[in-house]
Amino acid sequence: QMSSSPLSKKRRVSGSEPPTGSSRAPAPAVPPSVTPTNVSGMAKNGGEAEIDEGLYSRQLYVLGHEAMKRMQTSNVLVSGLRGLGVEVAKNLVLGGVKSVTLHDPQPAAWPDLASQ
């Protein structure tokens, strides 16, 4: 006994049937709508954007949804951009905070280039 795959059967949901003998392929399904977001991760309507569970799955497992929502709305200042400060700033950006402001009172020098 052979069972057919659910993908092998096609069913027309709306509209009229195409003319008999038509070689035209059915139109692809329309993807579900996505809430547009701006650069800061907030939805354009002023509400919070959903957390991308595929991108932040490991953090969600450790921190939970509430902590991730707080991170998405956090503004962070990193002062002092030597080797450790640069690494901290990078990890904050990758963690998904709303914004990171960098402050370094000293100009970059040759020894600083060795650390990062």
Q: What pLDDT sits at residue 68?
A: 86
What are the distances in angstroms from CA 106 to CA 8, 109, 112? 66, 9, 11
Residue in 90, 88, 76, 85 with CA at minimum distance from that of residue 105: 85
Residue 10 maps to a domain: no
CATH number at residue 84: 3.50.50.80
> Residues with Cβ < 8 Å from 53, sequence gap 6 or more?
60
Q: What pLDDT sits at residue 84?
A: 85
Average pLDDT over residues 8-24: 53
Domain that holds residue 62: 57-115
Residue 33 maps to a domain: no
Residue 68 maps to a domain: yes
Q: How far apart are the first and last CA of the chain?
A: 64
**Rounded distance, CA 108 to CA 106, Å?**
6
In tens, the pLDDT along 73-114 reads 999 999 988 878 888 999 999 988 999 999 999 888 888 777
What are the distances in angstroms from CA 53 to CA 84, 100, 102? 28, 22, 28
Specify the higher pLDDT residue, 46 or 112. 112
User: With left for phi above 0 and alpha for psi between -120 and 50, is residue 87 left, alpha or beta?
Assistant: alpha
Residue 70 maps to a domain: yes
Residue 76 maps to a domain: yes
What is the reported pTM?
Answer: 0.51
Residue 56, both tokens = 């932040």
User: What pairs with residue 48 in β-bridges?
Assistant: 42
Total of domains in the chain = 1
Residue 77 maps to a domain: yes
